[in-house]
Structure 1
Amino acid sequence: MAFSSQRRSAGPWPWLAVFTAFSASPAAAEDALDAVTLDRVEVTSARLQRVAPFDVPASLSAIELDGGAAAPGVNVSEALSGVPGLSARDRQNFAQDTQLSIRGFGARSTFGVRGLRLYADGIPATMPDGQGQVSHFSLAGAQRIEVLRGPFSALHGNSSGGVVQIRSADGQAPARGHLQASAGRDDSRALSASVRGAGEVFGYALAASRFDTDGWRDHGAARRTSFNAKLHAGLPREGRVQLVANHFDAPDAQDPLGLTRAQVQENPRQATSVATQFNTRKSARQDQLGLRVEQPFGDGHALEAMAYGGRREIEQFLALPVAAQANPLNSGGVIDLDNDYGGVDLRWRWTGTLAGRPLEAAFGANADRQRQHRRGYENFVGDALGVRGALRRDERNRVDNVDRYAQAWWQFAQRWSLLAGARHSAVRFRSDDAYVTAANPDDSGRVDYSETTPVLGLSFAPARDWRLYASAGRGFETPTFNELGYRADGGAGLAFDLVPATSRNVELGAKWRSASGARIEAALFRADTDDELAVARNVGGRSSYRNVGRARREGAELFASLPFGEAWSLELAWTWLDAHFRDGFPICTGAGCTDPSVLVAAGTRIPGTSRQQGWARLAWQPRDWTFALEASGTAAVSVNDTGSEHAPGYAIAHLEAARSWRRAGGTLRAFARVDNLFDHAYIGSVIVNEGNGRYYEPAPGRGLLLGLRWQWQAAGSE
C-alpha cells in the first residue's frame, strides 16, 4: 500500500462507511430518544472543565495510573503503548529523551520532543520555541496521562501536532502512599515512593524516585533522580490554590550513539567506537515551580491564573571529530546550555446556558519566555579527548510568545454540540552573539512569527452511548533555536530565513461505550502542511534545515477496550499512517556539501514514521492474581529523507503476572514481567537523518523484571 503524490489508493477513507453505520443502526435510533447525559469530568488537555471526554469532538485518550502496572515507572513510554496514533519509542539510551510522535508530527526529531505540546500538572514542558522534553515527567506520583490528537491540539499554540499531559494525584484523607522496588536486566534498579494526605483545607502529595542501570548496550550506564511535590488548599466558593515543585537530575548519562546496519548485525549491544573514544555523555538537571489559582465568583463565572518558572541545565559531550572543529565557524563538540524559563496564563471561564442549552466558554491570554545561554567548547585538550577545551561559541538567545485565545462548547440541541475556538500566537526570537572573531563574524539577529489558528468541531449523539463527530482546524510550527542554529549554505549566522510550517487538519470520528465498560473509538484524519521543515544538510556534526514545501499525514486509528465477564479483558489499538512529502526537494549528503544535489522525490515517506503499528493486551484477573499477555508491532520505519534505508518492521510479545496480598493497613503486590518473550532481534528506535549513517538504536532481547509494591492507607480508611 505504498502511496505517492502520483499514485494514490483509497487508503483509509472507505472507513467512512463505519461512521455512517453508527447512526443507521436500529438500536441507535431507538436510544436516541433518551436524553443525553453529560459526565462532569475535567478535560484539561482539551481546556474544558464541565465536558466529559466522551462528548469532546476529538480523539482524546486518558490513561489512569493506579499503580497496577508491572513496570519500573521510569519512562513515560511505559504507559503510552496502547494509545492509537502515538508512537513512544524507548531508545535504551538515557542520555536521550523518549521519542514521541503523534500522527507523524514530531517523528523527525533527533533529540528531545518536537512538534508536540507537553505539560506536567498544567506547567508547560515545551519551551516557547517548540522544543520539549519528558524526562522530568514523574510516574511515581502520577494519576493520569492525557493524549489529545487532531485539530483541537492547535488551541495550545506553537508546535501543537498533539498534546501529552501528565497529572499528579491530589492529596486525600486519610493519608496513603506507596513504596515500590524493582530490578531487571543489566543491573537496572528502580525505587519509588509517595505519600498523600489532606485535611479540611490543606492537601499534599509527595513522590520521589531513583533509577540506576548499567545499560543494555555498552557505554549506556545512567542514573536518574526525581522529586515531585504538589500542595493544594481550598479557597472560598469552592476555589483552589495549587503549588507544584519538580526536581530532576541525571548526571553523566552515557551515550552509546547509533549504529550502522552492519554494526547492528555484528553486535547490537556494542557502542560506536567514537562513543568510548570521546566518552560521549550528557548531564541534565531541572528545577521548576508552578502556582495555579482557580476562583469561582458565582453565576457560573470563574477566574483561573497560573504562573511558573524553572531552570534546565544541559552539558553534553559529542563525538565530533577534532578535524571538523578546525573550521573557525564550528561551535565545538561540547554543548553547555542553560535555560531559564517561565510564564503566566490568565483565563476567565463561564458556565451557563445559551438559548436554554448548556454552554461553557473561556477567554484568556498567556505569555511565556525562554532565556538561553548557549556555549560551545572543543571536546579535546591536546591529545586528551572527551574533555572540555577552548570556547567556540557564546550566545544568549531569547524567545518570547504572547498568545490570546477563546473557546466555547455549546450543546445547542439535545443530540448536537459544537466546540469552537481560536488562538493568536506571536513568537519572537532574538540571538546576541558574544563570540566574535576575525574568522567568526557576529551572528546576532532576530525574527518574529505570528499565526492565528481557528478550530471547529461538531458532535452528534444518535444514542446515549454513541458519538459521531467531525472537526477541522489550522496549526503551525515555528523552527526551534536548534533548527535556527546553522544556515543551510554553511555560512555564518543563524537561519532566520526559515518560516513556520502551517497545517490544515481535519478529522472524522466515532465513539461507543456500554454499561459493562466496553469502549470502541475510531477516527480518520488528514493534515496537509505547507513549508514543511526538513534537514537540508547534516555534516560535520551540524544539522541545518530548510522549508521544503508540502507534506501530508493521513490515516486511521482504532481503539477497543472489551471486558469479558468479571475476570477477562481485551484491549486493542491500531494505527494506519501515510506520511509523505508532496513536493520534491534537494538535500546535501556529502561531507562539506553546500550545494544540494541529491533529490528527495515527491511521495517519499517522512522519516521516523511507519505505515502501521498495533498493540493488544489480554488480561485475566482471577481473585488476587493478574495475568496478561501483551503484543506490539510496527511496520518498517524510514530513517532518512531520501528513503534509502529503513528499520525493519517487527512484532514482539510480553508476559506478566502479579499477586496481591491484602493486609491490615495496605496491600502488598509482587509482579514479574518477561519482555520480548521470544527473544526477537529488532530496532527499537531510529536517529532520523544521522549524518554518519548510524541511524539504528537496537532494542534489547528477552529480559525479566521483578518487583514489589506496598500500597498503604492510614487508619480510618474504608
Structure 2
Amino acid sequence: MKIKLPQLKASLILPVIFPAAGLAATPSRTETSSPVMIVSATPVNHGLSELDTPAAVSVVYGEDMRRAQPQVNLSEGLAGVPGLQILNRQNYAQDLQLSIRGFGSRSTFGVRGIRIYVDGIPATMPDGQGQTSNIDIGSIDHVDVLRGPFSALYGNSSGGVINVVTKKGQQPDTLKVGSWYGSYGSWRNSLQASGSTGDGTHAGDVDYTASVSRFTTHGYRDHSGASKNLANARLGVRIDDDSTLTLLVNSTHIQADDPGGLTPEEWRSNPEQVASNVSLYNARKTVDQTQAGLHYERSFGDNDDLSVMTYAGIRETTQYQSIPYTAQTKSQKFGVIDLTRHYQGIDTRWTHRDTLFSLPVSATVGLDYETMSEQRKGYQNFSQSGSSYTDLGQKGALRRDETNLMWNLDPYFQTAWQLSDKWSLDAGVRLSTISFDSDDHYLANGDDSGDKRYHQWLPAASLKYAIDDSWNTYLSAGKGFETPTITELSNRPDGQSGLNLGLKPSTNKTIEWGTKKRIGYGLLNAAVFQTDTRNEIVSADNSNGRATYKNAGQTRRRGMELGFEQQFAGDWQLTTSWTVLDARYRSNACSGSDCTGNRIPGIARNMGYLGLEYAPYSGWYGGADIRYMSNIEANDENTVSAPSYTVSSLNTGYKWLVDNWTVDLSGRIDNLFNRKYVGSVIVNESNGRYYESAPGRNYGVGLNVSYAFR
C-alpha cells in the first residue's frame, strides 16, 4: 500500500450513497474546512483522507496491487489491510474466502457479510451474496476498505464495505499489452487502451479506459484447472460545466474445476489430491456475467449535488457437485445447480452544504432500490435406468424448479457537523426493507413456495476530536443487519424439501474507538471494537459442496487493529499491520454438545503483515513481505483447526522508460520457504473435509509494455 506524496490522499467514496464512477483521490481537507462525511456526496474538488475520516478505513492503490503481481486475485494486494481476512482457496469455482472482522467467514463460496462495489455498481446482490470474479485488477485506481459501525449505513450484509474504483482515462492515449506466466501452467494475457480528448473540465471532453484479459491455469491441486475471460470498460463524458455522464460495462466468463476439501489426514498425506467423488462426478462450475451501468452527476452551484446511478446485469451459473447418487435417491438432494439471475437497481441522492447556528453542516438524503429475479433449477448428476446408475457427472432428471424474487428499498439520510475547530460529528440512518418471494414450479414433492420480508432501522454515529492537524481520535457506534441469502434459504438443515424460512436475519451492535496519527510521510492508525450479534447465521452442515445454515443465538467479537504505513528515504515503503480478533459464541450453537464460549470457526485470532518495498518511478525495484495467520477453527465444536503459518515472498523487476515506451519486466517467488499450510477452511464440513490446501513454493514472471501516443 503506497503512501502518496506530499499528502496521504485517499477518497473514501463508497457507492451506496456515493457511486464512485469517475472520481479519483484528491487532496485531503484541513481540520477547519467543511465537514468530512464518511459516505456522502462531496464536490469533485474535495476528497476524504484516511486521517480525517472518523472510521476504520484503508485505501490501497492499484499501482501497488499490480507491481510484480499476476493481477488475477484481489487477495494479491489486500493482505496488509488490518481486520481483513482474505484467503485464496486455490479454487476458482468458489471465489476467494473474504471476511471483515469475522463477518463472511462462514461462506463456502462467493462473499457474504460484506458489501462490494465496483464503480458504484454492487457486486453484492440484494440478498447479501457477492463475488469478486468480475473485478479487473489491471483497471483499478484504488480500493477503499471500510470496517466498523459506519458500514451499517450500506444496508444488508454490512460487516464491512469494499469499494473498487477503476482508472479514469487521461491524456496521452496509451496502449498497454501484458503477459504473465506462473507455476502450475498459469498464464494471464491482457490488453488495455486508455486516454481522453481533454482534461475533463470542458463540455464535450471524453475519457475512456477499456481492457480485456484471459487467465488459464492447470491448478495447484488435482482437478483444479480454470480459465477466465474478463472485459471491462468505462466511458466518461463532460456534458456541460455542471454535469458528467459515465458508462460502465463489464463481462466475465469462468470455467473452473472444483477440487473440494480434504480431511486433515488426506492433507497431511498429499495436499494436492482430491476426494474420489470429486473426480468421479467431475465437480465443476461455469459462470457467465454481463452488466452495464450509467452514472449521472450534476452540481447546482457550490452547495448542492445530485447523483443518479442505474445498472442492470445477468449472471448465469451452472455447478456440478460431487454429491453421490446414493444420497440423492434417499432424499431431496440434487447434484447439479442451474441458476439464471437478472439484477438491476438505481441509487439516487442529493447533498446540500450550508451553515446552521453558524456551524458548517452537510446533509445527504437518498433512496436505493435493488432487485434480483432468479430462476433456480436442480438436477441429478447421473442417469438412472432401473437399478443402474450411469453418466455420473452429467445433468440428469429435474429435481427442483423455482423462481425467486428479492428486492430492497432503502431510504437513507446522513449529516455531518463541524462543531468547532476540534470537534466534529457524523451521524446517519438507513431504513432497510428487504423482500423475498419464492414460487415453486416442481410440485412432485409438494408446493414449497414461500415469502419473507425484513425491516430494520440502521443508525450510526461518530464523534471525532482533532488533537492537532496530524492527530485525531474518534468514538463511533452503529447497528448492523444481515439477512439470509437466497442460497442460505434454499436448503433446510433437516434434509427435508422446502425453503429454510425459519432462518432469521442477524442483527449486531458495534462500538469502536480509534485514533490516527500522521508521522512524517506515514500514517499510524489503531482501533479497538466490540460487536455483539443476535441470531448470527452460521453453517449448520456442509456435505460434498452443499451447505445448510442455522441461527447461532448470540456471538461476540472483540478486537484490535493496528496499521502503519511509512515512506522513507525517497522510494522506500514500509507497510505493517496486526489484527487481534476474539470471536466467540455466547450461546450454544451445537446440537450434540455445548458450544457456548467456543471460538467461531473460520476466523483467525491473530493476523500479521510486514512488507518492505523499494519502488522508484523507473529502474530497478523490489520488495519482500511476511504474512502470519494463527490457527483457524474448522467446526463449531472446536475439535479440528487449521494450523497457524508464516509465509513470505520476494519480488523484483526493472522498468525502462524510453521515449514513448514503457517496458516493465518482473518476477516473484511466493511461499519462499516452501511452507506446507492450509489456505482456507470449509466450515462444518460434515465429511471432515475441512482443509483447502495452499501451494508450496511457486514462481511467476511478467512483462508489460505500453506506448503513449504523445
| One-letter amino acid matched to 1:477 | E
Give the structure 1 partner of residue 598 of structure 2.
Answer: 604
Kindly indicate whether residue 510 of structure 2 is the aligned counterpart of residue 505 of structure 1. Answer: yes
For residues 570 and 37 of structure 1, the distance between their equivalents in structure 2, rounded to whole angstroms, comes to 30
Kindly indicate whether residue 589 of structure 2 is the aligned counterpart of residue 582 of structure 1. Answer: no
Give the structure 1 partner of residue 201 of structure 2.
Answer: none
Deviations 1:463-509 (A, max 9, x none): 10111011000001011111111233333321212221000011111
For residues 546 and 622 of structure 2, the distance between their equivalents in structure 1, rounded to whole angstroms, comes to 48
Distance 1:427 1:364, change over 3 A: same
Give the structure 2 partner of residue 690 of structure 1.
Answer: 685
Give the structure 2 partner of residue 444 of structure 1.
Answer: 449
Picking from 531, 534, 541, the partner of 2:535 is: 531
Give the alignment of 1:422-461 within 5 angstroms.
Answer: 422-437=429-444, 440-461=445-466
For residues 218 and 38 of structure 1, the distance between their equivalents in structure 2, rounded to whole angstroms, comes to 58
| One-letter amino acid matched to 1:638 | E
Kindly indicate whether residue 390 of structure 2 is the aligned counterpart of residue 383 of structure 1. Answer: yes
TM-score (norm 1): 0.90
For residues 443 and 650 of structure 1, the distance between their equivalents in structure 2, rounded to whole angstroms, comes to 46
For residues 402 and 274 of structure 1, the distance between their equivalents in structure 2, rounded to whole angstroms, comes to 43
Give the structure 1 partner of residue 26 of structure 2.
Answer: none
Distance 1:179 1:352, change over 3 A: farther
For residues 157 and 257 of structure 2, the distance between their equivalents in structure 1, rounded to whole angstroms, comes to 29
For residues 156 and 586 of structure 2, the distance between their equivalents in structure 1, rounded to whole angstroms, comes to 23
Distance 1:241 1:484, change over 3 A: same
Deviations 1:649-674 (A, max 9, x none): 00011111111111110321111111
Give the alignment of 1:98-177 within 5 angstroms.
Answer: 98-177=96-175
Does the CA contact (< 8 Å) of 1:140 and 1:193 recur in 2?
Answer: no
Give the structure 2 partner of residue 11 of structure 1.
Answer: none
Segment of structure 1 superposing worse, 609-618 or 494-503: 494-503
Does the CA contact (< 8 Å) of 1:42 and 1:51 recur in 2?
Answer: no
1:483 counterpart SS class: helix
For residues 433 and 67 of structure 2, the distance between their equivalents in structure 1, rounded to whole angstroms, comes to 42
2:137 counterpart SS class: coil
Gaps in structure 1 of 5+ consecutive residues: 1-33, 588-597
Distance 1:329 1:39, change over 3 A: same
Picking from 286, 306, 309, the partner of 1:306 is: 309
Gaps in structure 2 of 5+ consecutive residues: 1-28, 199-204, 384-388
Task: Report deviation, 1:559.
Answer: 0.6
Give the alignment of 1:411-422 within 5 angstroms.
Answer: 411-422=418-429
Give the structure 2 partner of residue 212 of structure 1.
Answer: 216
Does the CA contact (< 8 Å) of 2:536 and 2:554 recur in 1?
Answer: yes
Segment of structure 1 superposing worse, 558-567 or 485-494: 485-494
Deviations 1:197-226 (A, max 9, x none): 111421111111110101011111110010
| One-letter amino acid matched to 1:392 | R
Kindly indicate whether residue 63 of structure 2 is the aligned counterpart of residue 66 of structure 1. Answer: yes
For residues 594 and 241 of structure 2, the distance between their equivalents in structure 1, rounded to whole angstroms, comes to 60
Give the structure 1 partner of residue 669 of structure 2.
Answer: 674
Task: Report deviation, 1:300.
Answer: 0.9
Segment of structure 1 superposing worse, 196-205 or 55-64: 196-205
Does the CA contact (< 8 Å) of 1:329 and 1:492 recur in 2?
Answer: yes
| One-letter amino acid matched to 1:213 | T
| One-letter amino acid matched to 2:467 | P
Give the structure 1 partner of residue 376 of structure 2.
Answer: 374
Picking from 682, 700, 709, the partner of 1:705 is: 700
2:558 counterpart SS class: strand
Task: Report deviation, 1:129.
Answer: 0.7
Picking from 319, 322, 326, the partner of 2:322 is: 319
Distance 1:673 1:468, change over 3 A: same
Distance 1:280 1:490, change over 3 A: closer
Give the structure 2 partner of residue 24 of structure 1.
Answer: none
Task: Report deviation, 1:302.
Answer: 1.4
Give the alignment of 1:434-583 within 5 angstroms.
Answer: 434-437=441-444, 440-514=445-519, 516-538=520-542, 542-583=546-587
Picking from 48, 52, 56, the partner of 2:48 is: 52
Distance 1:363 1:106, change over 3 A: same
1:263 counterpart SS class: helix
Task: Report deviation, 1:174.
Answer: 1.9
Picking from 638, 642, 646, the partner of 2:641 is: 646
Distance 1:447 1:546, change over 3 A: same
TM-score (norm 2): 0.91
1:319 counterpart SS class: coil
Segment of structure 1 superposing worse, 461-470 or 319-328: 319-328
For residues 537 and 629 of structure 1, the distance between their equivalents in structure 2, rounded to whole angstroms, comes to 40
Deviations 1:243-286 (A, max 9, x none): 100000012x1111111111111111112211111111000010
Task: Report deviation, 1:568.
Answer: 2.7
For residues 630 and 207 of structure 1, the distance between their equivalents in structure 2, rounded to whole angstroms, comes to 29
Distance 1:39 1:275, change over 3 A: farther
Task: Report deviation, 1:178.
Answer: 2.4
Give the structure 2 partner of residue 593 of structure 1.
Answer: none
Give the structure 1 partner of residue 265 of structure 2.
Answer: 262
Segment of structure 1 superposing worse, 559-568 or 650-659: 559-568
Does the CA contact (< 8 Å) of 1:40 and 1:51 recur in 2?
Answer: no
For residues 292 and 524 of structure 1, the distance between their equivalents in structure 2, rounded to whole angstroms, comes to 36
Residue-pair matches, total: 666
RMSD: 1.8
Deviations 1:664-694 (A, max 9, x none): 1032111111101111111111111112111
Give the structure 1 partner of residue 24 of structure 2.
Answer: none
Does the CA contact (< 8 Å) of 1:541 and 1:691 recur in 2?
Answer: no
For residues 401 and 687 of structure 1, the distance between their equivalents in structure 2, rounded to whole angstroms, comes to 30
Task: Report deviation, 1:41.
Answer: 9.8
Picking from 289, 296, 300, the partner of 1:297 is: 300
Distance 1:518 1:328, change over 3 A: closer
Task: Report deviation, 1:410.
Answer: 1.8
Kindly indicate whether residue 402 of structure 2 is the aligned counterpart of residue 398 of structure 1. Answer: no
Deviations 1:439-461 (A, max 9, x none): x1110010110000000001111
Q: Percent identity?
A: 42
